[in-house]
Amino acid sequence: MSEESKGPERVTFTRGFSVCIMGIDGTWRRDCTLNAISDNDAILTVEGSIQGLNLKEFFLLLSSTGLAYRRCELARVNGAEIDVQFLQGKNKKKGPGAAAPEAVMGR
């Protein structure tokens, strides 16, 4: 794969950065280590089990006060390490055939 097609540059942390993941509804939370991050995704090592958690959509809390966060979805699991993709704004990423909300509503 050529350098141009790799997408945004990813920053890798040698010792990791302490963060948390939290359910959209706030019912669960797990401490994590942020291993790498880019504009579109991140690689985390989760402390504790993720079994039974709804990882379809959740928050990555980048600060202890919760003022810096990203909305995420699970991309891949490899043991305690997970890859997450960031969701953009109100409208999630859409496939090439997805209709715009205005077209669906008849505007």
- Domains identified in the chain and CATH numbers: 7-86 (2.40.10.220)
Q: pTM for the complete prediction?
A: 0.73
More confident residue, 94 or 69: 69
Q: Which residues contact 57 (CB under 8 A, 6 or more apart)?
A: 24, 71, 72, 73, 87
Q: What is the pLDDT of residues 37-54, one digit of tens each?
A: 999 999 999 999 999 898
Query: What sign results for the dihedral spanned by CA atoms 25, 17, 50, 75?
Result: positive
Q: What is the pLDDT of residues 53-75, one digit of tens each?
A: 989 999 999 998 878 999 999 99
With vertex at residue 8, the alpha carbon angle to CA 4 and CA 11, rounded to the nearest 5 degrees, is 120
Residue that the structure tokens 């919760």 belong to: 66
Cβ(34)–Cβ(19) under 8 Å?
Answer: yes
